[in-house]
């Protein structure tokens, strides 16, 4: 579980379909800080462990510095130069790269997204006859997922501009139509003040884009019984009670899907007493599913967190790949676990964008079986044979 110990919620602010919930630390973390790294007008190219290359234009990157010392707060920013055809390419050896003895550079959310894209990326590990030659030679390459830029989320830009930053604030939970969109936590309030605007440059899922566009945030008014208030002290006591009730409601209901999200955790880098990790969910199809990255200390205390909520389609793809991998990419075994026919599983692979992994003759046979079954169960069609 993600341990939010030491972080407290403060009253939320709403703007359109968005609800922004601040997270405050009573005791900021001083020996781990996030700093600026500006790339100028260059693209970044990263060499992955399998010697393939990952190239991306990243609007900002974080550098974590650990140890004692007075260090500046983080910033962000990079721009594309002109003309584009003359743009230089800067080579990076890893997604998380050690800059010097006490500094580590990593790209926010890219660690988490890379982990999701690399999920069972190699494809079938046994030469089952149903899989195509491409499945064995190239696996799931290319593996593509769609995301939305923060500036495309309706109201997010305005919400961040008018948002009141609380004293001691070290994080923020972003909700769209009261569905958790993203969580962001940093070690120190100064880091948060510098990195607050970068939320508009983060990646968000399709579900969040739709919710922010079409659904307003619900209203949770705090109603005080005037019969219990006879002095300013009574009024303050009632206000504190409502704050505590809001925090309890948020922790147990609204953020419950995130707190219990990680099913797979991978340590990426150790830096002093801190560990940079990324996590994947259990891909439960009727639950929230978040991917993300964390920095935690030796006791599991959360210093940094950034999450991305998967869409329903992305969750379905992750669930499908996980089931296939669990059964050694055996279609009959996977279909039995999913309680569907082997032909229906083949069609699910097509709908999920993995149809090219199947041999064409096998795929045609599955499609014929599914169409024949649909014809027989359609009103006016032939009666189905007895079992």
Q: What's the distance, CA 148 to chain centroid?
A: 12
Q: What is the mean pLDDT of residues 139-162?
A: 86
Q: Is 198 helix (H, G, I), strand (E, B) or coil?
A: helix
Question: Domain map of the chain by residue range?
Answer: 8-80+89-220+231-312, 330-375
Angle of CA points 228, 166, 150, to nearest 5°: 120
Confidence of residue 48 (pLDDT cuts 50, 70, 90): low
Least confident of 79-88, 235-244, 293-302: 79-88
CA distance 187 to 64: 10
Q: What is the mean pLDDT of residues 319-341?
A: 93
Report the candidate in 110, 45, 57 with the shortest Cα–Cα distance to residue 84.
Answer: 57
Looking at every residue in the chain, the average pLDDT score rounds to 79
Q: What is the mean pLDDT of residues 362-369?
A: 91
| DSSP-assigned letters across all residues of 148-165 | EEGGGSTTHHHHHHHPPP
CA distance 214 to 16: 10
> What's 59's DSSP letter?
S
What's residue 303's pLDDT?
92
Cβ atoms within 10 Å, residue 61 = 20
The tokens for 265 are: 């955790």
Each residue of 295-317: pLDDT tens digit? Answer: 998 888 899 999 999 988 999 99
What's residue 305's pLDDT?
93
Report the candidate in 164, 186, 200 with the shortest Cα–Cα distance to residue 65.
Answer: 186
Confidence of residue 71 (pLDDT cuts 50, 70, 90): very low
pTM of the predicted protein model: 0.76
What's residue 220's pLDDT?
65
Q: What is the mean pLDDT of residues 72-79?
A: 34
Burial class (CB within 10 angstroms; exposed 0-12, middle 13-18, buried 19+) of 77: middle
CB of 308 within 8 A of CB of 261?
no
Each residue of 120-138: pLDDT tens digit? Answer: 888 888 888 899 888 888 8
């Amino acid at each position: 579980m993600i341990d939010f110990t030491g972080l407290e919620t403060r009253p939320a602010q709403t703007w359109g379909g968005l609800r922004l919930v601040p997270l405050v630390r009573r005791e900021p973390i001083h020996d781990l800080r996030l700093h600026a790294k500006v790339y100028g007008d260059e693209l970044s190219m990263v060499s992955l462990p399998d010697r393939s290359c990952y190239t991306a234009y990243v609007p900002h990157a974080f550098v974590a510095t650990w140890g004692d010392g007075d260090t500046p707060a983080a910033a962000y920013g990079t721009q594309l130069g002109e003309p584009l055809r003359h743009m230089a390419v800067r080579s990076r050896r890893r997604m998380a790269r050690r800059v010097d003895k006490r500094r580590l550079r990593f790209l926010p959310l890219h660690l988490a997204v890379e982990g999701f894209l690399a999920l069972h990326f190699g494809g079938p590990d046994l030469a089952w006859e149903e899989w195509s030659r491409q499945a064995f030679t190239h696996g799931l390459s290319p593996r593509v997922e769609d995301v939305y830029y923060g500036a495309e989320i309706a109201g997010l830009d305005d919400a961040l501009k008018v948002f009141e930053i609380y004293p001691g604030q070290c994080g923020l939970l972003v909700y769209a139509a009261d569905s958790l969109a993203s969580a962001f936590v940093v070690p120190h309030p100064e880091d948060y003040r510098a990195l607050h605007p970068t939320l508009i440059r983060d990646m968000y899922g399709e579900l969040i884009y739709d919710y922010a566009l079409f659904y307003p945030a619900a209203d949770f008014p705090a109603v005080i019984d005037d019969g219990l208030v006879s002095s300013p002290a009574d009024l303050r006591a009632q206000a504190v009670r409502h704050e505590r009730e809001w925090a309890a409601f948020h922790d147990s209901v609204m953020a419950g899907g995130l707190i219990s999200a990680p099913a797979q955790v991978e340590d990426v880098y150790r830096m002093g007493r801190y560990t940079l990790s990324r996590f994947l969910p259990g891909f439960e199809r009727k639950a929230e599913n978040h991917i993300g990255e964390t920095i935690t200390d030796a006791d599991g205390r959360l210093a940094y967190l950034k999450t991305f909520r998967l869409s329903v389609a992305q969750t379905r793809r992750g669930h499908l790949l996980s089931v296939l991998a669990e059964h050694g990419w055996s279609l009959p075994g996977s279909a039995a676990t999913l309680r569907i026919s082997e032909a229906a599983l083949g069609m699910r692979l097509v709908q999920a964008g993995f149809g090219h992994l199947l041999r064409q003759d096998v795929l045609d046979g599955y499609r014929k079986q599914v169409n024949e079954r649909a014809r027989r169960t359609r009103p006016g069609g032939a009666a189905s044979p007895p079992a």
